[in-house]
């Protein structure tokens, strides 16, 4: 088998890893030899071509956002609509999911605001990256001194209601789109059978968009190579330190959420030994880590929860599939850290109002994220756009996305498992013997 064939048959994570290593190597070499500000000659042409390569990838991701947000949030809400029949189970599950996701975002935001992984990068190097850094209206508007933060937040809340949903989509106003979609989906859920064809169509769009991401991911290694090369060529060594600190912030947040917050909830509300639960669902958590997909892991999670943790099947079959779609604590935490890191790196000052927007949209974006690899990367566009930050900022963190995806997916699946136990306990649906 030739080297090219061998490379082609590698798993996606290896391809991306190789792309990153090559990008880092070439970028650093160019940074040290040609320098970041090359304006002419073959290296300028090379850099420009690489920039196009990265731009194509960002554009492809961007063009999925509007239909993806609409279809995946719609399907989540319609699924929630079905759980009405399950009354108490439904409300306990939803409250648990929302609370844990919000707690995860909170942990992430506290950590990133404490550690500040994006500070201390040479501003000249960031300028050289040529990322579009025009101050977006929403950020500029917040700088107006006369209005109090409360009024600014209220303004933003009211502005979430779109005057025209088509305009909201065309303008890429994600917050308005989310509001409209929730409203639309709730009403569709109450109409049930009457609007079944509409639901089928949107379900189809949802599936297509998920497939879209998988297709786009096929060119990801090449584009990541281009992006990383240009990024490192411009930033030099300093970004390595910053990205390292950023990755550590995400990982520390994930460890706190998975190792402290969730176990406390399992202990207090689930009255279940969290270590025993962790051992029971470890195969699922490891599969999640390896595949970076909560959806692919779902059958194993359901099996572990029922057969090893002793939670009644009727709880697991409801709580876990719903959790795989809407409950993504790791993703939510990651998105909040990533967005604030990007803002710091690009020199944006985030007001309390913008931080609140990040808090809310990171929670919503995680709910709307598909349970497939890199979905969090795409829905992060929601948070960036809502916070008035350039979408191109995603390019800054692509380099280490895959490995962080694996850790956040593991936490997503662990979060779903804890929900099954807590809901199972409240419903009296846990077989004590199986806890041993
Ligand atoms: N890969 C994650 C999952 O499937 C979603 C994401 O954060 O990208 O749970």
Contacts of 368 (CB under 8 A, 6+ apart): 68, 69, 72, 73, 76, 178, 379, 382
Least confident of 129-138, 238-247, 344-353: 129-138
| Structural domain includes residue 435 | no
pLDDT at 129: 47
The CATH number of the domain holding residue 315 is 1.10.3860
- Number of folded domains that form the chain: 1
Mutate to test the pocket of ligand 1, among 295, 320, 375, 415 (most ligand atoms within 8 A of CB): 375
Using the atom order of ligand 1, give the atom closest to the CA of residue 372.
4
3-class DSSP state for residue 328? Answer: coil
Q: Are 153 and 141 in contact (CB under 8 A)?
A: no
CA distances 229 to 30, 174, 425, Å, are 8, 30, 51
| Structural domain includes residue 4 | no
Distance CA 322, CA 75 (A): 11
In this prediction, residue 240 has a pLDDT band, given cuts at 50, 70 and 90, of: low
Least confident of 173-177, 185-189, 271-275: 173-177
Residue closest via CA to ligand 1's atom 6 equals 376
Q: What is the DSSP letter of 434?
A: G
Tens of pLDDT, residues 88-119:
777 898 899 999 999 999 999 999 999 998 88
| Structural domain includes residue 179 | yes
| Structural domain includes residue 92 | yes
Distance CA 230, CA 38 (A): 11
4 Cα–ligand 1 center, Å: 29
pTM for the structure as a whole: 0.65
Mutate to test the pocket of ligand 1, among 412, 416, 417 (most ligand atoms within 8 A of CB): 412
In this prediction, residue 26 has a pLDDT band, given cuts at 50, 70 and 90, of: very high
Q: Are 262 and 414 in contact (CB under 8 A)?
A: yes
- Crossing angle (nearest 10°) for helices 42-82 and 352-368: 70
pLDDT at 378: 76
| Structural domain includes residue 18 | yes
| Structural domain includes residue 211 | yes
Residue closest via CA to ligand 1's atom 7 equals 376
382 Cα–ligand 1 center, Å: 15
The arithmetic mean of pLDDT across residues 145-162, rounded, is 64
Residue closest via CA to ligand 1's atom 2 equals 409
371 Cα–ligand 1 center, Å: 5
Residue closest via CA to ligand 1's atom 1 equals 373
Q: Which residues have C-beta atoms less than 6 Å from ligand 1?
A: 292-294, 328, 331, 369, 371-376, 405, 408-409, 412
| Structural domain includes residue 5 | no
Tens of pLDDT, residues 264-308:
999 999 999 999 999 888 878 877 777 778 877 776 787 789 888
Using the atom order of ligand 1, give the atom closest to the CA of residue 335.
7
Burial of 218 (0-12, 13-18, 19+ CB in 10 A): exposed
372 Cα–ligand 1 center, Å: 5
375 Cα–ligand 1 center, Å: 5
pLDDT at 149: 45
Q: Are 242 and 117 in contact (CB under 8 A)?
A: yes
Chain mean pLDDT for the chain:
80
- Full residue range of the structural domain in which residue 277 is found: 12-426
Helix runs in 41-132, H state only: 42-82, 87-115, 123-127
Tokens, residue 84: 């009405």
| Structural domain includes residue 3 | no
């Amino acid at each position: 088998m030739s080297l090219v064939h061998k490379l082609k048959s590698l798993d996606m994570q290896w391809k991306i890893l190789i792309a990153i290593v090559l990008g880092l190597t070439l970028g650093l070499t160019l940074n040290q030899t040609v320098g970041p500000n090359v304006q002419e000659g073959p290296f300028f042409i090379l850099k420009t071509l690489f920039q196009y390569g990265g731009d194509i990838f960002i554009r492809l991701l961007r063009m999925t956002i509007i239909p993806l947000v609409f279809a995946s949030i719609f399907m989540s809400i319609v699924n929630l609509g079905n759980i009405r029949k399950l009354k108490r189970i439904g409300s306990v599950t939803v409250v648990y999911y929302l609370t844990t996701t919000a707690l995860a975002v909170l942990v992430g935001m506290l950590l990133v605001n404490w550690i500040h992984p994006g500070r201390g990068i040479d501003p000249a190097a960031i300028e050289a990256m040529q990322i579009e850094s025009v101050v977006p209206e929403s950020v500029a508007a917040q700088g107006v001194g006369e209005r109090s933060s409360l009024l600014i937040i209220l303004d933003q809340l009211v502005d979430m209601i779109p005057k025209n949903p088509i305009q909201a989509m065309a303008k890429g106003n994600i917050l308005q789109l989310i509001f409209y979609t929730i409203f639309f989906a709730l009403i569709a859920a109450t109409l049930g059978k009457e609007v079944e064809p509409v639901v089928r169509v949107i379900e189809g769009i949802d599936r297509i968009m998920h497939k879209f991401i998988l297709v786009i991911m096929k060119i990801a290694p090449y584009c990541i190579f281009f992006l990383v090369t240009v990024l490192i060529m411009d930033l030099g060594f300093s970004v390595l330190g910053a990205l390292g600190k950023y990755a550590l912030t995400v990982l520390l947040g994930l460890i706190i959420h998975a190792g402290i917050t969730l176990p406390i909830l399992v202990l207090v509300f689930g009255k279940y030994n969290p270590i025993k639960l962790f051992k029971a669902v470890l195969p699922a958590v490891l599969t999640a880590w390896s595949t970076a997909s909560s959806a692919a892991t779902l059958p194993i999670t359901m099996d572990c929860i029922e057969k090893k943790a002793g939670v009644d099947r009727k709880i697991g079959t409801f709580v876990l599939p719903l959790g795989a779609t809407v409950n993504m604590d790791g993703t939510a935490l990651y998105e909040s850290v990533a967005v604030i890191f990007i803002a710091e790196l690009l020199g944006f000052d985030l007001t309390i109002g913008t931080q609140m927007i990040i808090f809310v949209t990171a929670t919503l974006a995680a709910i709307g994220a598909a349970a497939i690899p890199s979905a969090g990367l795409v829905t992060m566009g929601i948070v960036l756009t809502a916070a008035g930050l350039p979408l191109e900022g995603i390019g800054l963190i692509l380099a280490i996305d895959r490995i962080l995806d694996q850790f956040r997916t593991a936490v997503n699946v662990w979060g779903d498992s804890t929900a099954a136990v807590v809901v199972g306990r409240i419903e009296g649906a846990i077989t004590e013997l199986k806890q041993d």
